[in-house]
Structure 1
Amino acid sequence: MSVFKKKASKWAVAALLITVLLTGCSDIKGQENTSKSIDNSASGSTQTQKENVSQNSSGSTSTKSDQKELLSDIMESAKEGKVINCDIAANETANIWDIEEKWGKADKTEEWIPEAKGCYTTYSKSNIVFGSNKGGAIFEIRSFDSQLKNISLSMVKDAFGKPEYAVKTNNQQIVGYTADTDYKLLFVFPEPSKSNKDPKLDHYCVLYPKGTVNIMSGDKGREW
């Protein structure tokens, strides 16, 4: 009887050890599965973030939300005759000679351009170009701000709908919208191609059409 009890005791201990080992293995597998689930979730989150973030030439990042906000700022500024990051408005009171006194000598000045109805003055450091008529009044302001480089043609159409004005000229695609009663908003892109179907914005401008009218010569000026 004592021998039988000893064997039974050994079997009980062995069974207990097997149970502990099996339980431990199960816990380890559960932890592995949980870890894999967390890793997959993190991977999916990272991928989503990558899809919603683009990188510009300067290395900074811009999300789709940022771009939508930027487009909204562009439109709101245009309603006042302004471009982003510039306090000067295109209207009868803004004069190129006053700007030159405040900003200094321009980097480049283009003399009269008949089709544009004016002269163009470039301030490279400010990423701004001013269009002025024969009297020096500012009728157009162009912005080449670095923030614009992440905005695509499809984003502009998504934000503002079907363009009221759309032309292709000089390898460029230009789309336009009415910002306010007095102002037009024009976006200038490289012309779409097979290799670049959704080009990124080169620059945009706010146009004050009334400033291009020349009553003396009977010139009705520009609409866009």
Structure 2
Amino acid sequence: MTTTFKTIAGIMILASAIGLTGCNSSADNSAEATNAPSAEASASAQPAVTASPSPAAAEQSVPPAATAAPDTAAGNDAAAEDSAARLKELLELARQGKVPGVEYAAHSGMIDEVEAAWGEPDTKEPAGKGIYSTYSAKHVVFGWNKGSRIFDVRSSAATLQQLTLKEIEQTLGKPDDTAVNGSDRIYIYQAGKEYELKFIIPEATGTVDHISVFSEQDSFNNMAG
């Protein structure tokens, strides 16, 4: 009986020791689990790294360059070409005794034909070697002799009044002759054997006031029919 009691006592002591060891091990594991930071928490604690933009993205982020100023040189060239074309046309028409937009020519036209088509002029008055009829709405004046033959056709159309002496000389060269009438300067170009093309430019404006296509021989023949 004594031996049995001792055996039972020894088994109980051993079981108790094993139990204590298990508790300690569980406690240690629990402590480790509590103290160790989770992988998720560790990852969130790291500072975020911003990726550098790709070259393409960097190019897109650059603000567009300011729009270049309009090329005024192109506009100036176009205006110069337009003036040159207009002046060449004037000289070509003058060789026919005409001005732009008017079918009645110096030397071949008669004032009776004009009045039949356009009506009576706004004014009709003697000047120089003939009589001058003014049609204000058409910006045209006809000079004619006593035989009714037209010897001078003048135009003050707005497109002509934009021309300057510099533009005229750049296209037609230096005038063949010049004259002065009060404050007006007259620049004369020979248009074939028959006609003169005149540009009348007042000092006050520096641009053309009107042009004249003039037949010298008809201005003398006052009784031409």
TM-score w.r.t. the length of structure 2 is 0.71
Displacement of 1:101 after TM fit? 1.8
- Where does the alignment leave 5 or more consecutive residues of structure 1 unmatched? 54-62, 217-224
1:106 has 2:121 as partner:
yes
- Between the aligned partners of 1:154 and 1:186, the Cα distance in structure 2 is 15
**Which residue is 2:31 aligned to?**
none
Out of 46, 53, 56, the residue aligned to residue 20 of structure 1 is 53
**Which residue is 1:59 aligned to?**
none
Displacement of 1:25 after TM fit? 4.5
Question: SS where residue 101 of structure 1 aligns?
Answer: helix
Displacement of 1:149 after TM fit? 1.9
**Superposition RMSD on alpha carbons, in Å?**
3.0
- On the 8 A contact 1:168/1:191 being kept in 2, the answer is no
Pair 1:21–1:148, CA change in 2 (3 A): same
Pair 1:20–1:140, CA change in 2 (3 A): same
**Which residue is 1:146 aligned to?**
158
**Which residue is 2:145 aligned to?**
133
1:163 has 2:178 as partner:
no
Residues 106-160 of structure 1: CA deviation (Å, up to 9, x unaligned): 111112x2xx311100111211100011211100100111111211111111111
- On the 8 A contact 1:188/1:203 being kept in 2, the answer is yes
1:211 has 2:223 as partner:
no
Out of 89, 95, 98, the residue aligned to residue 82 of structure 1 is 98
Aligned residues: 185
Displacement of 1:21 after TM fit? 7.9
- Between the aligned partners of 1:215 and 1:77, the Cα distance in structure 2 is 25
Bigger Cα Rg: 2
